[in-house]
Amino acid sequence: MDTRPDDPLIEAFLDAAWAERGLSANTLDAYRRDLRKLAAFLRQRSGGTAGLQAAGRDALLAFLAAQVQSGLSPRTVTRHLSGIRQFYRWLVRERRLDEDPSALIDSPRVGRGLPKALTEDQVERLLAAPDCDTPLGLRDRAMLELMYATGLRVSELVGLQQASMNLERGVVRVLGKGGKERLVPLGDEARSWMQRYLADSRPVLAGGAVPAEVFITARRAGMTRQSFWHRVKAHARTAGIGTSISPHGLRHSFATHLLNHGADLRVVQLLLGHSDLSTTQIYTHIAREGLKRLHQQHHPRG
C-alpha cells in the first residue's frame, strides 16, 4: 500500500524519539511499520482523504479491531497501540494536534501466559539434587518435597510456623491470600522428609534458639522468598534443569501432575487455595498438552 503522504511526519516523530529517548533501531523500525500500516488503513477507510493527523478515536479503534480480526495476538496489538500513543502524544506536544485521539483507548487485555510446569522426571531430579548429608541440604530437600506435595505458594512455604505443622495427622495448616486458612495433606514422602528435617537438621540450624518459622537459615532466622529462590536455582542447575524452573515451578507442577493423573479440578482448586475456579482452570491446558504428548508417544495410532 502507498504510505508516502505521511512518511515525512512519521520520520520526524522517529527522529525525535531517537534523540529524546534513545530508542533502539529495532523499536524505531517497529514504530515505523505500525504507523505506516495505520496511515494506509486510514486513507483506505476515508477514500484517500484522511491521514494520521485527521484520525479520531473511532478510526483508531477500527484499526485496532482490524488487527485483531486479522489474527494478531492481543500482545502484538498492544505493541501497535504503544507506538501509536507515543506518536499522538508527540503531535500534541509539538502543537501539531490539539487533542490526542489515543488518550481514551484501553489496551487490549493480554491473556495470562501458561505457568511453566516441570515434567515428573525433572521434579524427581530436582528433589534429588540437595546434599542431604548436610543440615542445609536436608532442609532444602524437605522444603522442595513439601512444596511439591502441597502446592504451597513460595510465600506460604517460607511463612510456615511450627504450630501449623501436624505431622501426626499428616496435614499442614496454611494461611493463604486474603487471610484464608486451608488444611493441606502432606503425603507420606513429604511427611517423612519433614520428620527428618525437624529431628536432624533444624535443631542444628537453630543452635538453641527457638524461631517460630519451620524453615530457618544458618543464621537462625526464617527463610525469605529470595533466599529460597536462590537455593532452588542452585539445585535446578545441579539437576540440569536450570532454564526450566520458576519460583512457583513446583506449585505449577503439583497442580498439573494431579490433573494428569485424574484429580478433580475443584479438589485441586481447594488444595491450591484459589478462590476462583477459573484461576485453577489454566492448569487444565497444560495437563491436556501433556496427555496429548503421552498419547502420541505411546498409543499405537498416536
Residue 153 a catalytic site member: yes
Decide if 143 contacts 185 (C-beta within 8 A).
Answer: no
Task: Please pick, among 43, 80, 153, 252, the residue that the annotation labels catalytic.
Answer: 153
φ/ψ of residue 184, rounded to 5: -125, 130
Q: Which amino acid type is present at position 139?
A: R
Is 298 annotated as catalytic? no
* Coil/strand/helix, residue 168: coil
283 is annotated as an active-site residue: yes
Beta partners for residue 165, in sequence order: 172
Is 235 catalytic? The answer is no
Alpha-carbon distance of 249 to 118, in angstroms, equals 7
Candidates 141, 231, 235, 274; catalytic one: 274
| 292 catalytically annotated | no
CA atoms of 241 and 140, how far apart (whole Å): 17
Strand ranges, E, within the chain: 165-166, 171-175, 181-185
* β partners of residue 185: 171
The residue annotated as part of the active site, out of 139, 231, 248, 252, is 248
Residue identified by cell 511526519 is 9
Q: Given the residues 93, 177, 266, 285, select the one marked as catalytic.
A: 177
Which of 141, 251, 252, 257 is the catalytic position? 251
Q: Which residues are catalytic?
A: 153, 177, 248, 251, 274, 283
